[in-house]
Amino acid sequence: MHDTTVLLIELGAVLFALGLLGRLSRRIGLSPIPLYLLAGLAFGHGGVLPLSATEEFIAVGAEIGVILLLVMLGLEYSARELIGNLRTNAPAGLLDGVLNAVPGLAFGLLMGWGWVAALVLAGITWVSSSGVIAKVLADLGRLGNRETPVMLSILVIEDLAMALYLPLLTAVLAGAGLIAGAKALSIAVGTVVVVLVVALKFGHAISAFISARDPEALLLGVLGLTLLVAGLAAQLQVSAAVGAFLVGIALSGPVAHHATELLTPLRDLFAAVFFVFFGLATSPADMPPVLLPALGLAAITMGTKIITGYVAAKRAGIALPGRVRAGLGLMPRGEFSIVIAGLAVATPGIEPRLAPLATAYVLITVVTGPMLARLPDFAWFKRIIRRAQRPAHHPEPLPTTD
């Protein structure tokens, strides 16, 4: 059979199956993300029905999915709101790094994997998945909630930190010297600063250049600009996701409003492909030996993410329900963690158990995170929160007699 024919059959079957899973998830009141991931495991290497012809196509679609998730998040906010939130939540971002990178670093050292592998594991446990969290927020209808800008600020701080961490990690893994590492770091910092300045100073001009009157031209213009900037950012060792997010920040007014409407179906399509690809890249047979360590590490670092979100939301003056939603919503790790693990795996001499442990760890957080994020929507959980909000009752002292 011709390769194109096989690709069409496989891709059609995958998308049709995802449609059924999405419908099932909404019937049972669950985020579709865990089901998409399990579908990827079933169709991947070592799965029930491995795919061959569509793997490369799905890999490209997965990258587009992350980019669309992030540009859609950026369209919700202006450049000034971003700068203000970053300033306000910088201490929470610092706390996030300490609470979530240190467990990974300590775990790698305790396992005797060496400081390079421990540095890799610190990055894997540190950064949350912007793509997964964006999807969960959209699915749960929380994009307009008061705690959402706080969560997004932490995600942006993490992504910007990755723009510094990834070049340094690449230099360390390659055994490069101090000069090469400093050069990579300066390029990353310069790129982020330039894009932020352009978004802040020339956002209105960029929006005016892209017409909001012609839906076809608007769709092609915004999508093309997003992919272009994301690609250039990745080429300069800065996250493609950061580039896409900043494009969304730069667009404003009617352009942002109409672009959101036009891009939503594309985002849903490619986001589903992203989660399937994540499962495709995982062999179920590699995970049982590292499952218990991955579970322990996941339990610790999901707890530290809850603390991060809670503290950040509290500093922003958000009530207890919003603090809990922020903490539970930040737990999933995803695309960055896999990118970091992939860099390490390609380096000779790195601990061989690192890749399966990272994969199992990310799958645990990505499957359980969206489920736990729904807890604040249940009536019984709301009753617990209301009880916790009530001031403690101090009974009147009993009268005494002389």
Q: Is residue 100 part of a domain?
A: yes
Q: Give tens-digit pLDDT for 324-371.
A: 999 999 999 876 787 777 667 667 777 888 878 888 898 889 889 988
pLDDT at 13 (0 to 100): 86
Q: Is residue 297 part of a domain?
A: yes
pLDDT at 303 (0 to 100): 95
Tokens at 298, concatenated: 């996941």
What is the rounded distance in angstroms from the CA atom of residue 69 to the CA atom of residue 72? Answer: 5
- Helix/strand/coil (H/E/C) assignment for every residue in the chain: CCHHHHHHHHHHHHHHHHHHHHHHHHHCCCCCHHHHHHHHHHHCCCCCCCCCCCHHHHHHHHHHHHHHHHHHHHHCCCHHHHHHHHHHHHHHHHHHHHHHHHHHHHHHHHCCCCHHHHHHHHHHHHCCCHHHHHHHHHHCCCCCCCCHHHHHHHHHHHHHHHHHHHHHHHHHHHCCCHHHHHHHHHHHHHHHHHHHHHHHHHHHHHHHHCCCCCHHHHHHHHHHHHHHHHHHHHHCCCCHHHHHHHHHHHCCHHHHHHHHHHHHHHHHHHHHHHHHHHHHCCCHHHCHHHHHHHHHHHHHHHHHHHHHHHHHHHHCCCCHHHHHHHHHHCCCCCHHHHHHHHHHHCCCCCCCCHHHHHHHHHHHHHHHHHHHHCHHHCHHHHHHHHHHHCCCCCCCCCCCCC
Global model pTM greater than 0.85: no
Q: Is residue 218 part of a domain?
A: yes
pLDDT at 402 (0 to 100): 42
Q: Is residue 239 part of a domain?
A: yes
Q: Is residue 279 part of a domain?
A: no
**Residues 151/326, Cβ–Cβ less than 8 Å:** yes
Residues 6+ apart with CB under 8 A from 393: none
Residues 6+ apart with CB under 8 A from 203: 78, 79, 249, 250, 251, 252
Residues 6+ apart with CB under 8 A from 4: none
Residues in the chain: 402
pLDDT at 324 (0 to 100): 94
Residues of the chain with pLDDT under 50: 394, 396, 401-402
pLDDT at 99 (0 to 100): 94
- Structural domain count of the chain: 1
pLDDT at 312 (0 to 100): 92
Range of the domain at 85: 73-266+285-380
Q: Is residue 30 part of a domain?
A: no
Q: Is residue 169 part of a domain?
A: yes
pLDDT at 311 (0 to 100): 93
Q: Give tens-digit pLDDT for 186-195.
A: 776 777 677 6
Q: Is residue 55 part of a domain?
A: no
Q: CATH number, domain at 299?
A: 1.20.1530.20
